[in-house]
């Protein structure tokens, strides 16, 4: 390829990756539904976007490192405190029992349906066991299922990727060597991969812990240090043992997210942007390697395989893995209807297909196009039906607001208690230990994360936070946190107003919605509360005591609308008013 061809190819892949995600966001559909057809169409119309021509032998290693970065990011969003009881049992069974059952059943049907040899069919079955956070996360964001279902699916998707990658490597090695997949040899290879990945994860986590504790890099260097560590450790592990880098990446993310006394620099400004770009590039580049000719005799049989996995295999696996647990029938049914295939399936299929074709393994050329069809079919099916199915089963989270109140001042805790009394789910976060104790004594749920970045990062998305309210006594903190959090969390960010004429180091008009009227600053609220003012909730149709100030309007369905400097929201007769009453 000429230099001009490389420029055009790389530029087109980046534009397609980002443009497809933008289009998917506008259409409110999973990005994968757009990314795969876009890459396939580009590859069919032009040779310049073929990554194997652009990158040559570097393509497969770069795919593996890109997947490692994605899995590290997924590991950072996993809170061990949320995986307990029967949830832990279900996730463990889905990994250690569901993976081999799915692999064997998928391979059994692939032999006659796709006219494959046993080796190619088992390889395809191993490839198709994985799901992954890159497809599960966006689907859950659209569906908004109950907390329990969300936690189980997120954990399964994040852990099944490295396990599936290692299983695929075991099967590939056996088939490539021309031998039957021996149970003893497979177990030894699996244990070696897990051991190498675990050791790499421990080393990587220790390096990051020492870095954050001793060097204390800022946000920019801290984020790039995480990126360098996960790529370096994953590459070293893959050199020692194939696909062990995926295990190391997930374990590093888990360790960093759950280690106590470790201040992880904010990563949203760069790391999440990088992960989004990597996902787009991987999907478009891998789908660009698939030719229309390769789909000619694979399309319909692969659709039949996808239907078998969706209608028979997944419900069977979930039924077995949830037996004798306290999950309801509706929860089990929804889990049985959620198993989209994602980036690791595409990456492993792309890695193994060319090597098996070169070995003249019967049907090996059908592995990648069949995987492509199954990915598109499952993501499209689940993307279009998951929300209606969840509503039909009544496992959708209520549309009520779930505010995160930041600050543990007595008046803020009183406000949280009043909002909870209206039937609303309320989260709080505070830094000082005495404020956290005050929140817990009041029976209010503390948001996860020792730092505000942790409470408003991926955890906030999984906890269903719909808005952040900065209510601390530090005006500068509220102002600065508003500017940092805006655009980084789902929902709006509000802050209490600073005292009139305050001369803090942060500009008081740095942006963000300011709560309440101009005379109800944070200090004024705290003072009036100390003097005996109360925070109460009363129906809008009842008379309001003189001298009361309106703070919030709670709509039917527990939707929260605050009073801002722009004015109070209109209150209807069915609404509830949250008021600051005069001092007794």
Determine how β-strand 576-580 pairs with β-strand 549-555.
antiparallel
Q: d(Cα 32, Cα 17) in Å, to the nearest integer?
A: 10
Q: Are strands 493-496 and 403-406 parallel, antiparallel or unpaired?
A: unpaired
Residues 6+ apart with CB under 8 A from 52: 59, 289, 354
**Whole-number Å distance between alpha carbons of 444 and 436:** 10
Q: Within 10 A of 348 (CB to CB), how many other CB atoms are there?
A: 34
Do the Cβ atoms of 287 and 346 come closer than 8 Å?
Answer: yes
Give the closest residue to 33 by CA, choosing from 382, 296, 334, 386: 382
- CA dist list (Å): 291 to 206, 213, 548: 45, 50, 70
pLDDT score for 266:
46
What's the pLDDT score for residue 77?
67
Q: What is the DSSP string of 286-300?
A: HHHT--HHHHTTTHH
SS3 of residue 76 by DSSP: helix
Give the C-alpha separation, 298 to 564, whole Å.
Answer: 59
Joined together, the tokens standing for residue 433 give 């230990």
Supply the pLDDT for residue 540.
87
User: Is the separation of the CB atoms in 175 and 361 below 8 Å?
Assistant: yes
How far apart (Å, rounded) are the C-alpha atoms in residues 294 and 95?
32
CA nearest neighbour of 232 among 263, 192, 201: 201
User: What tokens does 322 get?
Assistant: 């949830």
Q: Rounded to whole angstroms, how far apart are CA atoms 270 and 352? A: 32
H runs (alpha helix) in 31-182: 32-45, 51-55, 59-76, 86-96, 98-113, 118-127, 133-143, 147-176
Query: pLDDT value at position 497?
Result: 85
Dist CA 356 CA 120 (whole Å): 8
Contacts of 384 (CB under 8 A, 6+ apart): none
Residues of the chain with pLDDT under 70: 77-83, 176-187, 189-190, 219, 243, 259-271, 398-400, 448-464, 486-490, 500-512
In this structure, are residues 244 and 194 in contact, taking their beta carbons and an 8 Å threshold? yes
The string over 31-63, giving b where at least 16 C-beta atoms fall within 10 Å of a residue's C-beta and e elsewhere, is bbbbbbebbbbbbbeeebbbbeebbeeebbeeb
- The predicted pLDDT at position 450 comes to 55
Using the structure block, give the residue that is written with the tokens 């590859």.
43
At residue 564, φ and ψ (nearest 5 deg) are -125, 175
Dihedral pair phi/psi, residue 460, rounded to 5°: -65, -40
Owner of token pair 């919030």:
552
Torsion angle defined by CA atoms of residues 292, 298, 299 and 305, in that order, rounded to the nearest 10 degrees: -150
Cα separation, 553 vs 533, whole angstroms: 19
Do 83 and 151 contact (CB within 8 A), yes or no?
yes
Q: Which helix (H) or strand (E) holds 561?
A: strand 559-562
User: Phi and psi at residue 514, in whole multiples of 5°?
Assistant: -95, 130
Residue 509 has a pLDDT of: 53
Rounded CA separation 1/6 (Å): 7
> Which helix (H) or strand (E) covers residue 537, if one does?
strand 535-539
Q: Across 400-492, where does the E strand assignment appear? A: 403-406, 427-429, 445-446, 467-470
> Which residue in 566, 567, 573 sits closest to 550, CA to CA?
567
Distances (CA, A) of 558 to 102, 463, 525, 561: 42, 17, 24, 10
């Amino acid at each position: 390829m000429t230099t001009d061809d490389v420029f055009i190819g790389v530029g087109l892949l980046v534009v397609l990756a980002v443009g497809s995600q933008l289009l998917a966001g506008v259409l409110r559909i999973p990005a994968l539904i757009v990314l795969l057809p876009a890459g396939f169409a580009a590859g069919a119309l032009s040779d310049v976007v073929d990554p194997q021509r652009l990158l040559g032998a570097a393509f497969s290693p770069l795919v593996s490192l890109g997947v490692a970065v994605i899995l590290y990011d997924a590991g950072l969003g996993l809170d061990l405190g949320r995986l307990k009881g029967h949830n832990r049992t279900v996730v463990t069974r889905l990994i250690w029992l569901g993976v081999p059952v799915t692999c064997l059943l998928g391979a059994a049907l692939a032999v006659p349906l796709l006219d494959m040899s046993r080796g190619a069919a088992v390889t395809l079955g191993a490839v198709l066991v994985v799901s992954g956070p890159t497809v599960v996360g966006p689907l859950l964001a659209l569906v908004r299922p109950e907390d329990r279902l969300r936690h189980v699916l997120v954990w399964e998707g994040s852990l099944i990727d490295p396990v599936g990658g290692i299983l695929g490597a075991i099967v590939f090695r056996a088939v490539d060597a021309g031998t039957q997949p021996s149970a003893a040899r497979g177990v030894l290879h699996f244990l070696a991969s897990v051991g190498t990945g675990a050791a790499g994860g421990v080393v990587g986590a220790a390096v990051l812990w020492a870095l954050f504790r001793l060097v204390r890099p800022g946000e920019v260097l801290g984020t790039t240090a995480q990126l360098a560590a996960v790529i370096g450790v994953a590459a070293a592990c893959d050199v020692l043992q194939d696909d062990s880098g995926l295990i190391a990446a997930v374990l590093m993310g888990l360790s960093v997210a759950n280690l106590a006394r470790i201040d992880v620099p904010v990563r949203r400004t760069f790391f999440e942007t990088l992960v989004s770009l990597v996902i787009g590039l991987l999907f478009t580049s891998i789908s660009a390697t698939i030719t229309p000719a390769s789909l000619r005799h694979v399309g319909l049989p692969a659709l039949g395989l996808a239907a078998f996995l969706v209608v028979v295999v997944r419900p069977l696996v979930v039924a077995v893995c949830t037996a004798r647990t306290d999950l309801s029938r509706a929860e089990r049914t929804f889990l049985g209807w959620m198993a989209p295939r994602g980036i690791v399936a595409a990456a492993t299929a792309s890695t193994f297909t060319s090597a098996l074709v070169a070995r003249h393994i019967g049907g090996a050329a059908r592995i990648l196009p069949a995987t492509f069809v199954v990915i598109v079919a499952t993501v499209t099916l689940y993307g279009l039906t998951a929300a209606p199915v969840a509503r039909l089963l009544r496992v959708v989270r209520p549309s009520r607001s779930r505010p995160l109140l930041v600050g543990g001042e007595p008046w803020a805790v009183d406000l949280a208690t009043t909002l909870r009394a209206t039937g609303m789910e309320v989260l709080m976060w505070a830094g000082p230990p005495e404020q956290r104790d005050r929140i817990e004594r009041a029976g209010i749920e503390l948001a996860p994360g020792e730092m505000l970045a942790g409470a408003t990062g991926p955890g906030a998305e999984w906890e269903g936070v719909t808005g952040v309210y900065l209510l601390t006594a530090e005006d500068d903190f509220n102002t600065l946190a508003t500017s940092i959090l805006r655009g980084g969390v789902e929902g709006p960010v509000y802050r209490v107003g600073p005292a009139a004429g305050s001369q803090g180091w942060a500009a008081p008009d740095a942006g963000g919605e300011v709560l309440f009227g101009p005379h109800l600053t944070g200090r004024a609220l705290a003072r009036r509360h100390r003097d005996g003012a109360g925070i109460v909730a009363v129906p809008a149709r009842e008379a309001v005591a003189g001298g009361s100030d309106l703070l919030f309007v709670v709509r039917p369905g527990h939707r929260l609308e605050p009073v801002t400097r722009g004015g109070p929201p209109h209150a209807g007769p069915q609404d509830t008013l949250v008021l600051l009453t005069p001092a007794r």
